[in-house]
Structure formats: C-alpha cells, structure tokens
Amino acid sequence: MRARAALLQLYRLGVLLAVAWLIRAHHLRLRVEGDRPVRVEEVAGWFTNAAGLQLDLTARGGFHVLDKAGAELGYLIRTLPHADRTIGYCGITDTLVALDLNGRVLGFKIRHSEDTKTHVGDVMADRHFRKTFNQMTWDQVAGMDLKQAGVEGVSGATMTSLAVAEGIVHRFRVAQGELRPQPVRWGTRDIGLAAVLAFALWLSFAKAEGRERWRRWFQWLVIGYVGFLNGDLLAQSLFAGWAKSGIAWRMAPGLVLFAAAAVLVPWATRRPLYCQQLCPHGALQEVVTRFAPGRWRWTVPASLDRALRWLPGALLFGVLFVVMLPLDFDLASLEPFDAYVIRSAGVATILVAVVGLGAAMFVPKAYCKYGCPTGALLEFVRARGVEDKFGRRDWVAGLLLLAGLAMHWQHAAFFQLIFGTAV
C-alpha cells in the first residue's frame, strides 16, 4: 500500500509539472510564431511625423524612426526578446524605449505584458516612474544600478515595475556587450514572507496543545501582513504567469519559497500548509465565521454540496483554456486575492471577495470549499496516507492534461473553431 500511495503522489506531481511544462512550451512557440512586430503607429506619441521604421542591423538592434522624406527623427528599441528572462510578479513585459537624435531617452511604454493587467496599468499610470530614464544617454542607462539610483518601483506593482526597469537596463547592456550577472533580490518583503512561512510550519507540525491560541493571533498577522501589506497571495494568475514566462525566483525569492512550500509540504506530509495557515482570505473567512451569530449557520444539503464541489475543478479547466488559446481575460478576476491589493483591485475580484466573506457567515470557509481553484490545485497534490486510492480528482487531472495537449498540438484548429478565424 505504501508503494501504491507513493506512486500516486508521483503521478499527481507529474501531472502538475507536465501541465506547467506544456503551458511554457506552448507560449514559447506562440512567441516565435507571432512575435508582435513593432508598428509605426506605436511611436506616434514621441514622433508625430513618423512614417516608417528601419531596422538597425548594428549591435544595438533597434529601429531608426523615419518621416515621409526618409529623414531620421529618432531611435527606438524593444526589450524583447533580449529581456525575456526578466520576470515581474507573474510574467514578462515587452517595452518600447524611444531616444531622440542626440541619443537621449524620451520615454518608454509597455506594448505587451504577461503580468497582471492591474499591475501593468498602475505602472503606466505612475508619471514619476515613467520618467525614470528620461534624458539619460545610452551609456548612462546601460551603466545604471537601479538600487543605487533609488528606483523602488510603483506602490502596489513593485515587482512588475522593477522588472520593466531591469528589462530596459538589460536591453541597453546587451547592445553594449556589458551584461552583468543579475543577483537574487532578497528584500524586506521576502525576508518577512520567509519568517511568516517558518512560523506557519511550526504551527503545522507543533503539538496541538496551545497551538490554537497562537494560530488565532497568527491569522491576524497573515491577513494584515501577507494580505493587505504585501499582497503576495498565491493565485491562478500567478501560477499561470510563472508557467508561461518562468518562475520569478530572482525578483521575488520570498514568494517563490512561499509557493514551493504550499505545493511540496502537503504533497510530502499531508499537511495543507497554505490553505490552513497562510492564505489571508481563508484566515479572514474564519474570523468572519467566529463573529457571525451561531443561529446563522447553515448546513448545505448533500446534493448541493456534491454539485458545488465540482466548481473549483471546472474553474481550473477554464484557466487552462484562457492560458492555452490564449484569451484576453484577466485571471485575477476569477479569485478574491487581488482584492487585498486595494489600490489596484478590480471590481470583479472585489465582488468575489465580498461574496465569499458574506457566505462565510453562513457556511464556514464556503469559498475555500466551493469556489477556489487555487485551493483545489493544492488539495489535488496533497498526500492522504497509505490508504489513498486513484480517485475522481486524479481522473479529472488526467483529462486536464489531455485537454492541454490537444490545445497545444491543434492550436490553430481550436482557435478557428472558437473564434471563426485563423490564428
């Protein structure tokens, strides 16, 4: 039985890794096949008379911006594909940088990003950050140390904005042939997350005596620090972004450690670490349930309970379709977690958060049971002991992998079937 349980756990982890690899390979192919060529319309904000772009075949590899008469107006560079390893919160960003005839930066704009839409919007709405490189020469940008220069990023979108800045610096250095090894950024928030994780591990594995008292105080720390202050919550938008673009281990090592523990600890020990100890929304639901009058408690009928428990799995299928096709849909709106980043939270994610907390007054952790795809993903990999058997979740996970393979191999056919046009 132990061998069977071990093989089952390897199957579950293997399915998870296979889906992540499939998403990564699929998006690498999409970037190669449809690389979003730069259009002259994109530079109109800097060069009103621009009529054409001429590729520069020198080491700089940018574009000369020309008017109708063929006179040069300025210069343009694009950060991708050179900066495709610079990952923000959950994805890479393609940025355009314009320079005048004297070689000084006029500004930059984000033309496409796989990061969270609200974070990207916050970056481009911050006028101070948009002027970070203005009037700097090529050599000054290439030689820039962002930390020494005091570039701290945009509040509420720190990782996204720093990735944009690092991508620009990296792109200028590529042209200068002066690439430097990029260090892992262990900032205050990463150290804080590591400390919270260590305490959560203690709560999960310590003896039960006295643990609940500590856990209730710890829940407020999770809600306040992990949720509202840091905003570093695990979500489908994060996992999908990392699958597409790579894991942001250098930009956000604390968050990567958080995510690794959330997957591997339950996989190896049966303890639901993240959902039980570290999820701010789960903790806030428990607080709401404790303060709600006992007479409000409602028992979900068995038939409705069985039906609702299919919803998180169905949402995971939806996430896969959004990522693989790909669809222009913000995955953050499916879950309540972005609502904790109040400054940039969208209406949909706030609505999901409010409804989930309202439901917790009647059914404890209702959202966790009936609505959370991220929780369903973590629960799928959790070990269940030597008596564990291949069950419904495992069949569904296998079907999810097959669906991903079909969309990868027959991407054009799926796209045309759904949208009625070729890719």
Task: Return d(Cα 24, Cα 289) in angstroms, integer.
Answer: 40
Question: What are the distances in angstroms from CA 317 to CA 23, 42, 236, 383, 398?
Answer: 13, 35, 11, 22, 12
Question: Per-residue pLDDT tens for 197-245?
Answer: 999 999 998 877 667 788 889 999 999 999 999 888 999 999 998 998 7
Half-sphere exposure of 357 (CA within 13 A, CB side): 16
Question: Per-residue pLDDT tens for 249-285?
Answer: 887 899 999 999 999 999 999 999 999 999 999 999 9
Q: What is the pLDDT confidence band of residue 419, given thresholds at 50, 70 and 90?
A: low
Question: Per-residue pLDDT tens for 319-353?
Answer: 999 999 888 888 989 999 989 987 777 889 999 99
Task: Return d(Cα 322, Cα 328) in angstroms, integer.
Answer: 8
Domain chopping of the chain, boundaries: 2-29+186-419, 45-176
Task: Return d(Cα 312, Cα 330) in angstroms, integer.
Answer: 17
- Enter the tokens of residue 171: 């792109």
Q: What is the pLDDT confidence band of residue 394, given thresholds at 50, 70 and 90?
A: very high
Question: Per-residue pLDDT tens for 16-34?
Answer: 999 999 998 888 777 655 5
The pLDDT assigned to 178 comes to: 53
Task: Return d(Cα 11, Cα 394) in angstroms, integer.
Answer: 9
Question: Per-residue pLDDT tens for 133-180?
Answer: 899 998 888 888 888 777 777 777 788 888 888 889 888 888 776 545
Sign of the CA dihedral running 85, 274, 161, 76: positive
Q: How many CB atoms lie within 10 A of CB 341?
A: 25
